[in-house]
């Protein structure tokens, strides 16, 4: 590359201007793309959540209670609470919790019935190992339906009744913790 200005202020100014211009153009481009995609991405996430909730408590209408609860070392954060109603009567709640699994955070929806049983659970996104922890998105998770929602669930290895995924105890514990956290929260609503 031929350099007319060798060293000194001129060269440094040139470097700054060129890099600054490239960065500015890239930033403007990204801003424009984000404008287009952001609403669509939010819509997709809402669609995934709605589909999960409709599967867990069928036939109900969901109202966003717009509540979140920050997590700590032992309890995962709650990122959304939805009240399920049929004909104006509360039949249960769907809670979005984010327990930590083997490969990062799992985002899951837990349904709790008004009668104090687990309606069901569904893992919406995860970073678990394919073939092992990723099975948390299979039929395996259906076993939670009908279990007591009193925050006492545990995998068989820990003396509980939940059959863990073979080779993915950490994931199974995370899902169980998610269900318990949701159950405790709904119990606290009274």
Q: Which residues bind other proteins (CB under 8 A)?
A: 1, 3, 11, 14-15, 18-19, 22-23, 26, 29-30, 33-34, 36-38, 40-41, 44, 48, 125, 127, 129-132, 167
Residue 129 vs 143, nearer CB to other proteins? 129
DSSP, residue by residue, 31-82: HHHHHHHHHHHHHHHHHHHHHHHHHHSTT-EEEE----B---SSSPEEEEEE
**Distance of closest approach, residue 181 Cβ to other proteins, in angstroms:** 23
Residue 69 vs 132, nearer CB to other proteins? 132
Residue 15 vs 86, nearer CB to other proteins? 15
Q: What is the C-alpha to C-alpha distance for residues 34 and 145, in angstroms, rounded to an integer?
A: 39
**Distance of closest approach, residue 63 Cβ to other proteins, in angstroms:** 25
**Distance of closest approach, residue 82 Cβ to other proteins, in angstroms:** 20
Judge contact between 168 and 132, C-beta under 8 A.
yes
Residue 75 vs 79, nearer CB to other proteins? 79
- Longest pairwise C-alpha distance within the chain: 80
**Distance of closest approach, residue 15 Cβ to other proteins, in angstroms:** 5
- The three-class DSSP label of residue 13 is helix
């Amino acid at each position: 590359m031929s350099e007319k200005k060798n060293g000194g202020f001129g060269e440094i100014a040139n470097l700054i201007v060129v890099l600054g211009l490239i960065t500015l153009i890239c930033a403007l481009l990204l801003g424009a793309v984000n404008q287009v995609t952001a609403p669509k991405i939010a819509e997709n996430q809402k669609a995934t959540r709605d589909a999960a909730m409709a599967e867990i408590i069928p036939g109900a209408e969901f109202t966003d209670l717009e509540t979140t609860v920050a997590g700590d070392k032992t309890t995962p954060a709650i990122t959304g609470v939805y009240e399920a109603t049929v004909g104006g009567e509360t039949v249960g709640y769907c809670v979005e919790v984010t327990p930590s699994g083997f490969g990062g955070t799992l985002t899951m929806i837990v349904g709790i019935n008004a009668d104090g049983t687990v309606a069901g659970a569904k893992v919406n996104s995860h970073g678990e190992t394919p073939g092992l922890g990723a099975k948390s998105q299979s039929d395996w998770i259906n076993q939670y339906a009908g279990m007591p929602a009193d925050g006492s669930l545990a995998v068989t290895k820990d003396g509980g009744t939940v059959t863990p995924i073979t080779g993915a105890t950490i994931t199974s514990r995370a899902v169980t913790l998610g269900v318990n956290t949701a159950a405790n929260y709904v119990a606290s609503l009274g």
